[in-house]
Structure 1
Amino acid sequence: MAVRISMQRFTWILGGIGLLAVLAFGAHAATADVWMVQWEVAGGVGAALLFVSLWFDRESIRRYLQSRGAQYSAMAWALIAVAVGVAVAANMLADRYDHRVDMTASQRHALSPQTVQVISSLDVPVEIHAFFLPGVLEGQTLRSLLDGFSEHSAQLSVAFHDPLTEPLVAREFDISSEFGTVVLRAGDDTQRLESRFDEESLVNALIRLTSGADHVVCFTEGHEEIDPDDDTSAVGMGAAVVKLEGQNYTVRKVFPARDGSIPEACEVVVVADPQVDWLPAEREMLATHVARGGSALVLLEPTRTPGLVADLGRYNILMGDDLILEQNPSYQLVGGDASYIVLSGESFDFHPITNPIRGAVLMRVARSVARLDPEMVGVQVQEVAKTSAFAWAETEYDQAPEVTPGRDRLGPVPVMAVAEITDPSIIGVGSTRVTVGAESSRRPVIERSTQEAGGADAESGPSDAVADGATADSDAGVPEFTPKAGGRVVVIGDVDFATNELLDQFNNRDLLLNTLAWMVGEDDQVSIRGAAGSGGRFAMTEAQFLIVSLLSILIAPGLAVMGGVGAWRERRRR
């Protein structure tokens, strides 16, 4: 008996030594590029010792395998093997059919539609070279982001480099920063990122790299317009300019009265809520710009520049002398008065600018913008954004807000109109202009469309602004030009949505940038951009605020109290 016990101990010792030798050889084989002879010998000897120990102890092993405990253990190991097999198969399927799901409310970790659109439309090979030291958080985050980029285009190739271990590659791309650098290359053209490596920066770099055109957007000045250089105050438009300059746009300032004309280099002229009215000659310069195929974006709030407002009639656009007020809580901003207007997805008509927008747009202190004459030939006008049916356009500013039938326009009230010029002669630049307000063949049409648009009478309705502000302008301020169809005019009865204060609220940024992209013909940029990262804050309408309040203050606590009372009564019955 003692000899048998000693033999069993000896065989187990041999088995243990053999198992350790086999494991050591396995570790060496997995990590070494070349197997060393001594490790191969150790592995062979270990396998032999393990086999000998099992052979000498075969009777004990046979009895164990026939026991009930062995059967249970075998079943357990079989289940473990099945679980491991399922996990391996799932991992292989996930690796082959990779798909990401972003569960965040703002879709922070998902690529925006604009990003997918820009990447999918790449028609030239683009290389992205990222230089980061090992373990840098920015590099790890960027790697995950670029993995998503690569899924949407075969034209995109991504390579990560360690500048310390790959000095020749770092020298080729002139890498000197220790904090990370990303170089995008398409042929001989390159773009570099050395500070921000987020989705927006990468997409903007791709646009600059592959666009092949640099669009010039000119903001007018000299009439106390919103300052495009102001990126600190709430009323500036510096934040919007930063977004534009991050893409393939160059922003300039123009003063038509001083410069004598609007430069032909300006593809889009932005008139951002001037406080001082434009001179007749300046209005002719703007009309000349549109008649030669240029574009104009006019953002005007109530009571501003009656002359410029009246002159928009030549583009078949009527701006009402009114203030839009919203009565429906679902379209009001919580904490704001009725002058805050929330435009939802149902508010937008079918148009390339607004088609991608499925969320909301927030406006404040807006005026109506409508099509003037539905029968006018040579200019196509579309009202692309309207309020809810519960809003109205208030025309009496000195009284308490109240709907006045026959004078105030009832909802849905249009707040944005788009005009496309198919016949430049219809604009009537200079002496050829058809004067609104004089005895002309168009006067009856204007009166009829004004009454149909809002029910405003001819004495004090919006037609007054047209009749008073538009007078005959000879050839003053009209340089020689070649008429060209294709001019575009977009008029929005609000400017606050594009200011620093509200630009990142809802889809305001997308509405502004989509408008400018459509006006310069950059269809790939008309989309929804990535989340701006607002720190988790969000705005609610009055209806949403009411629902949240009821759920958190009344319904949820009420259900808990009712459950407690019910449990107490049930125990009393027992």
Structure 2
Amino acid sequence: MKINRKFRWQLLAQNWMFVLVFLALVVMLGFLSSQYRWAKDITQANRNILTQGSVNVLKQMEGDINITVYATNDDANNGDTFRKGMLDFVARYQREKKNVFIKFINPSEEPKLAQEAGVKVDGETIVEYNKRSEHISPPFAEQEMTNLLVRLSRTNNQPVMYLDGHGERLLQGLKNHDLGEFGKQLESKGFKFANPDLTIAQAVPANGAMLVIAAPQVDISAVEAKKIKAYIESGGNVLWLLDDDNLHGLQEVAEYLGIKVSAGIVVDRAAEQYGADPKMAFASLYGDHPITRNFMLRTVFPEAHQVDGQASDDLGWKVGRLIDVAPNGWLESDKIPAGAQNLKVSFDAGKDKAGPINVGVALERTYGKKGQRVVVIGNANFLANTFITNGGNLDLGINIVNWLAGDDRLITIQPMPLKDINVTIPATDQGRLVAWIVFHAFQYLIPIGLFVAGFLLWWKRRKA
């Protein structure tokens, strides 16, 4: 084919047209990527996007979130890329909420600003929201940052009061049966604690968010019980955890609330599938209530008792079922001693009640100009230090306290910590050989192989 001058101009015009169209396409794609974002995380631990719990928290925050990072400039040559890592970390929040702003201040260049802000370490960060601020220091993780945002969002700063002196499970206790780990999680979310001595105080303080009664082991005095009932009668919120049907001096409180607790415990044969004692009742069915709405995590209730609540038209209580356990189990009619091992029981159709069994109720009524809320759970073990990390126990407990405190909008599934992603290499010659081949294959062998294959293909075409 003869190529003349006219044909050359046509080829040149076609080439330039292709270049212009290609550049226009690149510009258009760049514009669209700046206007619309889409991300999908394929990592095992979802390290590049936020968990649903964090997304839910951000949706409730209407104002601007300002993040100020006090950090020296990056030195990539020495492996210091802290600022870049912070930008990538905050970008996960910015993708879900547009008005999250970040700025950097070098404390070496602006020492006065760092001093006025109370910054003590390089990388310390101040997060501001709704005219409130809090410091956070590296290393950063989603769990800590989201908890910080929850604390800044919290509208109810009244303390959580807890009863003490009767063998209760303590919110700041360290023993296995205590609720200390749960208490730490509440503190991380902005809750403060108070421990009123009802033997001295004239009444339960009215400035608390709620009163926690966590399974007393000895009888509460008549004087204290009278003050607790008066607190409820005057509109106080209560979280009552029961380990058995012994109300330990609070019978009048139970009657006022319309609460009944079973003598026997729940038996769940499904626990044997997980190698657990049948006294461990598993729950995956929840009532239609703000505490448990859209809650789909499995929870565990060791030695749980049934709780029934009756609505009272006279007192205005509305009762909602919260937790149904052991759909394939039953409520044992015979009283089983706490801590009994190797439980050997069978279902008696004439005496026992077939599952599912409700072990938690939420009571609510309008008192004056405000609402009053009470939650009664027939089990305190589920929040104990031994069991708090099982399934969704912690999430359910946080949701209960948020609801009682009036912070319904903060009821959410908490962000989960990263999974263990360590690689364990067998300490054998074969294991070390496989590891050497795998690691160096990506570093040297595969790149060199692609280069050689490309060169051979080019050489073959050139000779054709």
The bucket for the TM-score relative to the shorter chain is 0.7 to 0.9
Structure 1 residues 122 and 353 mapped into 2: Cα distance closer, same or farther (>3 Å)?
same
1:338 lines up with 2:289 in the alignment: no
Partner amino acid, structure 2, of 1:498 = L
Q: What is the CA–CA distance in structure 1 between the aligned matches of 2:132 and 2:366, rounded to whole Å?
A: 37
2:382 pairs with 473, 497, 500, which one? 497
Give the equivalent residue in structure 2 for 1:389. Answer: 327
Alignment CA distance shift 1:334-1:188 (3 Å): closer
- Preserved CA contact (<8 Å) 1:275 1:305: no
Q: How far apart are 1:356 and its partner, in Å?
A: 3.5
Q: What is aligned with 1:270?
A: 212
> Does the residue aligned with 2:371 lie in a helix, a strand or coil?
coil
Deviation by residue 1:473-526 (Cα, 9 ceiling, x = unmatched)? xxxxxxxxxx77632110111122212222232211111111111111112211
Counterpart for residue 430 of structure 1: none
- Give the equivalent residue in structure 2 for 1:111: 50
Distance in structure 2 (CA, Å) of the matches to 1:138 and 1:367: 51
Aligned CA distance change for structure 1 residues 193 and 92 (closer, same or farther; 3 Å)? same
Q: CA deviation at 1:336?
A: 0.7
SS at match of 2:275: coil
* 2: CA distance, partners of 1:225 / 1:333: 32
Residue 365 of structure 2 is aligned to residue 421 of structure 1: yes
The corresponding residue for 2:261 is 319
Give the match's secondary structure for 1:384: strand
Q: 1:272 to 1:152 in 2, by over 3 A?
A: same
CA distance in 2, matches of 1:518, 1:247: 14
Q: Please state if 1:221 is matched with 2:164.
A: yes
Number of the residue aligned with 1:142: 86
1:254 aligns to what?
196
Contact 1:215 1:248 in 2 (8 A): no
Which stretch of the first structure deviates more once superposed, 411-420 or 366-375?
A: 366-375
Tell me how far 1:181 sits from its aligned partner.
0.6
Residues 310, 318 of structure 1: 8 Å contact kept: no
1:34-54: CA deviations, max 9, x gaps? xxxxxxxxxxxxxxxxxxxxx
Q: Give 1:180-195 correspondences, 5 Å limit.
A: 180-186=123-129, 189-195=132-138
CA contact (8 A) 2:229 2:253 kept: no
Q: Please identify, of 90-99 and 253-262, the stretch whose mean Cα deviation from structure 2 is larger.
A: 90-99
Aligned match of 2:185: 243
Q: Which moved more, 1:357-366 or 1:300-309?
A: 300-309
Secondary structure of 1:222's aligned partner: coil
TM-score, length of structure 1 as denominator length = 0.62
Displacement of 1:328 in angstroms is 3.3
Task: Decide whether aligned partners of structure 1 residues 514 and 212 sit closer, same or farther in structure 2, where only a CA change above 3 A counts.
Answer: closer
- Superposition map of 1:196-235 within 5 A: 197-231=140-174, 233-235=175-177
Note closer, same or farther for the CA distance 1:227–1:394 as it changes in structure 2 (3 Å cut): same
Aligned partners of 2:126 and 2:136 also within 8 Å: yes
Residues 291 and 487 in structure 1, CA contact (< 8 A), matched pair in contact too: no
Question: Among residues 379, 385, 391, which one is paired with 1:506 in the alignment?
Answer: 391
**CA gap 1:323/1:520 in 2 versus in 1, 3 angstroms:** same
Residue identity in the other structure for 1:394: E
Q: Deviations over 1:62-87 (max 9, x none)?
A: 9xx99xxxx9xxxxxx9999999988
| Equivalent-residue separation in structure 1 for 2:331 and 2:421 (angstroms) | 34
Distance 1:287 1:487 in 2: 14
More strand by share: 2
Q: Structure 2 CA distance, aligned partners of 1:397 and 1:508?
A: 25
SS in 1 for 2:417: coil
Partner amino acid, structure 1, of 2:293: N
Q: Amino acid of the residue matched to residue 401 of structure 1?
A: V
1:8 is matched with which residue?
A: none
Tell me the secondary structure at the aligned position of residue 215 of structure 1.
Answer: coil
Once the two structures are TM-superposed, the CA of residue 139 in structure 1 deviates from its matched residue by 4.5
Aligned counterparts of 1:364 and 1:317: Cα–Cα separation in 2: 21
Give the whole-Å Cα distance in 2 for the aligned partners of 1:108 and 1:500: 28
* Deviation for aligned residue 1:142: 3.3
Q: Decide whether the 8 Å contact of 2:333 with 2:352 is kept in 1.
A: yes
- Structure 1 unaligned regions, length at least 5: 1-60, 72-77, 424-482, 538-574
Q: Per-residue deviation at 1:230?
A: 2.5
Q: Is 1:313–1:372's contact at 8 Å kept on the other side of the alignment? A: no
Normalised TM-score (structure 2): 0.75
Output the amino acid matched with 2:57: V
Distance 1:405 1:83, change over 3 A: farther
Structure 1 counterpart of 2:143, which letter? Answer: E
Change (3 A) 1:300 1:536: farther
By percentage of residues, which structure has more helix?
Answer: 1
SS for the counterpart of 2:293 is coil
SS at match of 1:511: helix
- Residues 29-108 of structure 1 correspond to what in structure 2 (within 5 A)? 93-104=32-43, 107-108=46-47
Identify if the C-alpha distance between structure 1 residues 334 and 81 changes in structure 2 by more than 3 Å, giving closer, same or farther. farther
SS at match of 2:54: helix
Select between 308-317 and 215-224 the one with higher mean Cα deviation. 308-317
Amino acid at match of 1:129: T
CA distance in 1, matches of 2:197, 2:214: 13
Q: 1:442: which partner in 2?
A: none
Aligned to 1:130: 69
Larger displacement relative to structure 2 (369-378 or 207-216): 369-378
Pairwise CA RMSD of aligned residues? 3.6
Distance (whole Å) between structure 1 residues aligned to residue 21 and residue 403 of structure 2: 57
Matching residue of 2:243: 301
Distance 1:309 1:323, change over 3 A: farther
Q: Look up the SS of the partner of 1:271 in the other structure.
A: strand
| Preserved contact between residue 37 and residue 95 of structure 2 (Cα < 8 Å) | no
Name stretches of at least 5 consecutive residues in structure 2 with no aligned partner.
Answer: 12-16, 337-342, 423-464
**Residue 287 (structure 1) shift:** 1.9
Change (3 A) 1:322 1:80: farther
Report the CA distance shift for 1:174/1:282 in structure 2 as closer, same or farther (over 3 A).
closer
CA contact (8 A) 1:223 1:276 kept: yes
Contact 1:333/1:340 (<8 A) preserved: no
Q: Which protein is bigger by CA-based radius of gyration?
A: 1
* Matched-pair contact (CA < 8 Å) for 2:281–2:326: no
Change in Cα spacing, 1:303 to 1:379, as seen in structure 2 (3 Å) is closer
Confirm or deny: 8 A CA contact 2:267 2:326 kept in the other structure. no
Structure 2 CA distance, aligned partners of 1:292 and 1:115?
36
Name which of structure 1's ranges 275-284 and 513-522 shifts more when overlaid on structure 2. 275-284
- 1:309–1:319: 8 Å Cα contact kept in structure 2? no
2:318 counterpart letter in structure 1: Q
- What do the CA deviations read for 1:115-134 (whole angstroms, capped 9, x no partner)? 32332333443321012232
- Return the alpha-carbon distance in structure 1 between the equivalents of residues 403 and 283 of structure 2: 20
Inter-partner Cα distance in structure 1 for 2:273 and 2:57: 33
Shift in Å, 1:392: 0.8
Aligned counterpart, 2:407: 522
Equivalent runs, 1:368-447 vs 2, <5 Å: 368-372=306-310, 378-397=316-335, 400-422=344-366
> CA offsets per residue over residues 398-447 of structure 1, 9 Å max, x none?
68412223432221110110111347xxxxxxxxxxxxxxxxxxxxxxxx
Counting aligned pairs with the same residue, the percent is 22
